[in-house]
Chains A and B, each alone.
Chain A
Amino acid sequence: MANSKPSTNVKQLLIAGLSAWRFGMVLGVFLLAVLAIAWRLVDLHVIDQEFLRQQGDVRTIRTETIDAHRGMIVDRHGEPLAVSTPVETVWANPREIDPQDPRLTPVARLLGLDERALRNRIRELGGREFIYVRRKIQPDLARQVLAVGLPGIYSRREYRRYYPAGEVTAHVVGFTNIDEWGQEGIELSFDNWLTGKVGLKRVLKDNRGRQIKDLNLVRDARPGRDITLSLDLRLQYLAYRELKAVVQAHGARGGTLVMLDVNTGEVLAMVNQNSYNPNDRSQISPESLRNKAITDLFEPGSTIKPLTVAAALESGLYRPESKIDTAPGFLRFGRFTIRDARNYGEMSLTDIIARSSNVGTSRIAAELGGDQLRDLLFRMGLGQATGVGFPGEAVGVLPSPARWRPVELATLSYGYGMSVNALQLAQAYMVIANGGIRYPLSLMRVDEPPQGERVLSESVSRQVRHMLQVAVENGTGRRARVALYESGGKTGTVHLVGSQGYEHDQYKAIFAGLAPVEDPRIVTVIAVDAPQGGEYYGGEVAAPVFSRVMGDALRLLNVRPALEADAMISAGSRPSGARG
């Protein structure tokens, strides 16, 4: 551009040289490129579409589970005993977290974790994509943790099992582990029934694993089914309170109480000492986990005597007023001597029950023979499973020798040489109470009238009931009298079995009874292990519990009180000093 002359020359040259074909070629190449891209677009959008979409789906579509919560366990009136409540579980993807991240400090502090341990865990498990940080915490706390804003920390919904009645129903209901699998009690035996079936759905997820949208449902979630127990929480509380009180008052090792509805075979209350809090299992001793009412066996002792007498009445050889000579107050079988508290002389069957004569029942048993007695005990459900379907049930032992040795038969007649659990004993008394029908026992509420089996005649059961009433009003069980109601029952005091055989100074105080006598509604069996201090007889330790529990229970069940008030007044003036 120095001067105009060469400039014009250049201009002309340029014009001459700039040929149209060069321009056409460049533009043509461009248009070819456009066509190539256009064809490729059609290729991808339309022809390869299916393959590409499927590849995309593989990367984005995931199958997620839909929570199915575990069924509730409720008492017969619908009071919750075990419920699953939503909680949050904080988890982490160690691949996304730098173990040095300062934001781990508030996370650890909020969750109450050791910060260094948390950092170490994240470092050591750096190759994983999922670790639990803290499971099952309050949703509010989880929100605070997420608010720290540390990438790689997530939370997800889980359910936590809560037991509103705590230790009161702990033994029956049992508990689940952290994954909500049944471990004990009803939670274990009805695990399949309670467990829901998780559903599946297909969702679209982004590359950070977050859910973008629901696509379709693969399988609906089926929530777990509920279970309605036969327990009446009011009676359960009542029974628990009284049992705990007596165990504490006597410094006892433990105790058991079982209450049955005599007309349905339902278990209305079943409590044990010691119990535990299923909501906080950090302090549990394995020993306290047992539902002793079902899993622990003991020798029933004198509480079997009414059954021996029932066998006698059933045989037709005896009537309630038949006299048995118990003099001189003991029986000798070789080295072994059976004793009464004192020499009662000649006494009726009613008196044998009321005063709990070992010699009396031994004489009757010798007369009846072992097979007849054993047959009756077996019909009452002893030595057999109760069928409540509780894990760890102990069946007990009912001896059945080919030939009965006299001492064996004699001890069986007053409840030694055999073993039962508290529930079996209650079942036997239920038969006496309801006029001779054995209903299958149930921990579930029974809505249909149960199919019972007659195992004892109506009249025999009524006669035995009256004997039990006498035992309470005028015999060893006087402290079992229930204000406003007429009750019947039998005491029992047995030596506990230790590692060296019978322990001479450790007893089990037992009381089994029913009320009201005329039209029994409930039977209750109470057993207190090793009461310490002066009192250890069933009539001293267990009978008062019966009195208190039955009185309150009958009132709660709206049972009509007996009108003969004078009977109670006269009962109050009778001398005490009964023995089991």
Chain B
Amino acid sequence: MSKPDLRFSMPLASASAASPLPWLLISATALLVIGVVMIASASVDIAAQMTGNSFYFMTRQLIYAGLGCAVALGIANVPLAWWERSGWLMLGIGLAALVLVLTPFGHTVNGSTRWIPLGLFNVQVSEVTKICLIAYLAGYVVRRREELVHTWSGFLKPLLVLGLASTLLVMQPDFGATVVLMTAAMGMIFLSGVRLSRFMPLIGLTAVIGVLLVIFEPYRLKRVVSYLDPWQDQFNSGYQLTQSLIAFGRGEWTGLGLGNSVQKLFFLPEAHTDFIFAIIAEEFGLFGSLAVLVLFAVLVTVGFVIARLAERDGMPFAACFAYGLTLLVGLQAAINMGVSTGLLPTKGLTLPLVSYGGSSLLANCVIIGVLARIEMERQDLRQQKAEAGKGTRQGGARYVD
């Protein structure tokens, strides 16, 4: 207890001087703007063909973006205490939405029942559920930490809840969202200090479930196989991926230029939604795709820094919540880019803040709003502590490993 062991002191030490907040907002806004522009470019022809209005998707995304900014502002004004209090409400909403979508209220597109129609637009329930369950889990981890860390039952209880949610998600089916939610939850539990040995049976179970899914739902097996060598079956199961890879190849170093993508001309399905990263890569080349990757890296790092700072400054719920939310965004972005580049099997996942889609955009705006709120509350707390007296300062963060 003599000297604090600050292995990751660099960002923390400078944090008092430079707030991570601007970085969060800059990277998120940049991605949002890139998204609107690229949706305009990628969807011009498909929108004209589907609706007769070339800017149909761009206009809608612009409206969502405005709405998203308002939502982020609103959420930034919701005290963290409310989230902490509403753990059970969140769990209720999250599970209720998952059940509701499987009733006839659900809206089916391409064989997946993922949406609940709400008049003007459809809500993708997995986006709502993800945030709700992460909020619930953050509350649980903080409330039952002792139990969680030290007993199997404390470890398994949240897993049962998550397992139920995963089952409902797979029933839609929405395998991508399941993976993102489960992995983010595991990350949170891991960060809360649970021993690694507890994860072993879970990893085994996940592997068994994965194998069973591949066996009993053969289209998944097909997808898995096609991603390993998409050129084998390039006109069938490997079609989308090969078209995506061609987009990267065409982009070369600097790309074909904004609006000059060829793959968006009905070659690459979902060009303005799940595969928008490929269109960015085609129109702006290696520099463009790396820029987007760097923006996501900045966003995720800032999210982790915010979480870590909250942790240091004695805001366990905020820290846990921030870890979970950052993991959600980071995992989804990484998986989406991994899918587009052929590193991972094809899944229907959007690129956060960039892809077209109201639910996904609003959900990510909520996440940005919550992260901003956490950082603001933390700064307020520090200020209060600083004003309260210099003596209490050393009672702040102590890291003993």
Question: Taking beta carbons and an 8 Å cutoff, which residues of A are in contact with B?
Answer: 1, 10-11, 13-24, 26-27, 30-31, 33-34, 36-38, 40-42, 44-46, 48-53, 55-56, 59-60, 204, 206-208, 212
Kindly provide the distance from the CB of A20 to the nearest chain B CB, expressed in whole angstroms: 5
B54 sits at the interface (CB 8 A): no
B265 sits at the interface (CB 8 A): yes
Task: Judge whether A41 and B304 touch: CB under 8 Å.
Answer: no
Task: Judge whether B246 and A56 touch: CB under 8 Å.
Answer: yes
CB neighbours of A44 from chain B (8 A): 245, 248-249, 281, 341-342
Considering only residues 245-259 of chain B, those with a C-beta below 8 Å from chain A are 245-253
CB neighbours of A16 from chain B (8 A): 400
Task: Judge whether B293 and A34 touch: CB under 8 Å.
Answer: yes
B337 sits at the interface (CB 8 A): yes
B364 sits at the interface (CB 8 A): no
As a 0/1 sequence over residues 184 to 197 of chain B, the CB contacts with chain A under 8 angstroms (1 = contact) are: 00010011110000
* Segment among B21-29, B58-66, B143-151 that sits at the interface with chain A: B143-151
Task: Judge whether B286 and A10 touch: CB under 8 Å.
Answer: no
Closest 7 CB pairs of A and B: A52-B249, A206-B265, A207-B266, A17-B193, A44-B248, A45-B286, A56-B246
CB neighbours of B343 from chain A (8 A): 36-37, 40
Q: When chains A and B are docked, how far (Å) is the Cα of A212 from the Cα of B311?
A: 56
B399 sits at the interface (CB 8 A): yes
CB neighbours of B327 from chain A (8 A): 26
Kindly provide the distance from the CB of A189 to the nearest chain B CB, expressed in whole angstroms: 47
Name which of A33, A46, A206 has the most chain B CB atoms within 10 A of its CB.
A33
* Known contacts A1-B84, A14-B145, A207-B266; A41 and B289 CB within 8 A of each other: yes
CB neighbours of B387 from chain A (8 A): none
Kindly provide the distance from the CB of A277 to the nearest chain B CB, expressed in whole angstroms: 45
Task: Judge whether A11 and B316 touch: CB under 8 Å.
Answer: yes
CB neighbours of A46 from chain B (8 A): 252-253, 286
Task: Judge whether A18 and B192 touch: CB under 8 Å.
Answer: yes
CB neighbours of B341 from chain A (8 A): 37, 40-41, 44
Name which of A14, A15, A20 has the most chain B CB atoms within 10 A of its CB.
A14
Name which of A34, A36, A42, A60 has the most chain B CB atoms within 10 A of its CB.
A34
Task: Judge whether B267 and A26 touch: CB under 8 Å.
Answer: no
Q: When chains A and B are docked, how far (Å) is the Cα of A24 from the Cα of B296?
A: 18
User: Besides A15-B314, A19-B193, A49-B249, 11 other CB < 8 A contacts?
Assistant: A1-B143, A14-B142, A14-B316, A15-B397, A16-B400, A17-B149, A18-B191, A30-B300, A34-B297, A38-B293, A44-B341
Q: When chains A and B are docked, how far (Å) is the Cα of A485 from the Cα of B397?
A: 129
User: 22 A–B contact pairs at CB < 8 A?
Assistant: A11-B314, A15-B314, A15-B316, A17-B192, A17-B193, A19-B193, A19-B401, A21-B401, A23-B304, A27-B301, A30-B300, A30-B301, A30-B304, A34-B296, A40-B343, A41-B289, A46-B253, A49-B249, A52-B245, A206-B262, A207-B267, A208-B266
Kindly provide the distance from the CB of B171 to the nearest chain A CB, expressed in whole angstroms: 29
Considering only residues 336-389 of chain B, those with a C-beta below 8 Å from chain A are 337-338, 341-343
Kindly provide the distance from the CB of A60 to the nearest chain B CB, expressed in whole angstroms: 6
CB neighbours of B193 from chain A (8 A): 14, 17-19, 22
The contact of B248 among A33, A38, A45, by CB within 8 Å, is A45
As a 0/1 sequence over residues 43 to 85 of chain B, the CB contacts with chain A under 8 angstroms (1 = contact) are: 0010001000000000000000000000000000000000010
Q: When chains A and B are docked, how far (Å) is the Cα of A50 from the Cα of B246?
A: 10
Q: When chains A and B are docked, how far (Å) is the Cα of A45 from the Cα of B289?
A: 9
CB neighbours of A50 from chain B (8 A): 249
B216 sits at the interface (CB 8 A): no
Q: When chains A and B are docked, how far (Å) is the Cα of A183 from the Cα of B151?
A: 95
The contact of B146 among A10, A22, A30, by CB within 8 Å, is A10
Q: When chains A and B are docked, how far (Å) is the Cα of A31 from the Cα of B334?
A: 10
Task: Judge whether B252 and A10 touch: CB under 8 Å.
Answer: no
Name which of A1, A13, A45, A59 has the most chain B CB atoms within 10 A of its CB.
A45
CB neighbours of B146 from chain A (8 A): 10, 13
CB neighbours of A48 from chain B (8 A): 245, 248-249
CB neighbours of A26 from chain B (8 A): 187, 190-191, 304, 323, 327
Task: Judge whether B290 and A38 touch: CB under 8 Å.
Answer: yes
CB neighbours of A36 from chain B (8 A): 338, 343
The contact of B293 among A19, A37, A55, by CB within 8 Å, is A37
Task: Judge whether B250 and A10 touch: CB under 8 Å.
Answer: no
Chain A residue nearest to B5 in the complex (CB):
A20
Q: When chains A and B are docked, how far (Å) is the Cα of A150 from the Cα of B208?
A: 50
B240 sits at the interface (CB 8 A): no
* Known contacts A14-B142, A15-B314, A18-B311; A24 and B286 CB within 8 A of each other: no
B390 sits at the interface (CB 8 A): no
Chain A residue nearest to B242 in the complex (CB):
A55
B152 sits at the interface (CB 8 A): no
* Known contacts A1-B143, A17-B149, A37-B341; A53 and B267 CB within 8 A of each other: no
B308 sits at the interface (CB 8 A): yes
Task: Judge whether A53 and B84 touch: CB under 8 Å.
Answer: no
* Known contacts A10-B316, A204-B262; A56 and B249 CB within 8 A of each other: yes
Chain B residue nearest to A31 in the complex (CB):
B297
Task: Judge whether B286 and A42 touch: CB under 8 Å.
Answer: yes
Chain B residue nearest to A36 in the complex (CB):
B343
CB neighbours of A208 from chain B (8 A): 49, 265-266
B198 sits at the interface (CB 8 A): no
Considering only residues 17-37 of chain B, those with a C-beta below 8 Å from chain A are none
Chain A residue nearest to B245 in the complex (CB):
A52
Task: Judge whether A20 and B252 touch: CB under 8 Å.
Answer: no
Kindly provide the distance from the CB of B28 to the nearest chain A CB, expressed in whole angstroms: 17
Considering only residues 282-316 of chain B, those with a C-beta below 8 Å from chain A are 285-286, 289-290, 293, 296-297, 300-301, 304, 308, 311, 314, 316
Kindly provide the distance from the CB of B342 to the nearest chain A CB, expressed in whole angstroms: 8
Task: Judge whether B8 and A41 touch: CB under 8 Å.
Answer: no
Kindly provide the distance from the CB of B275 to the nearest chain A CB, expressed in whole angstroms: 14
Task: Judge whether A45 and B281 touch: CB under 8 Å.
Answer: yes
CB neighbours of A18 from chain B (8 A): 191-193, 311, 319
Kindly provide the distance from the CB of A206 to the nearest chain B CB, expressed in whole angstroms: 3
B330 sits at the interface (CB 8 A): yes
Chain B residue nearest to A43 in the complex (CB):
B341
Chain B residue nearest to A22 in the complex (CB):
B191
Chain B residue nearest to A23 in the complex (CB):
B308
CB neighbours of A31 from chain B (8 A): 297
Q: When chains A and B are docked, how far (Å) is the Cα of A18 from the Cα of B8?
A: 13
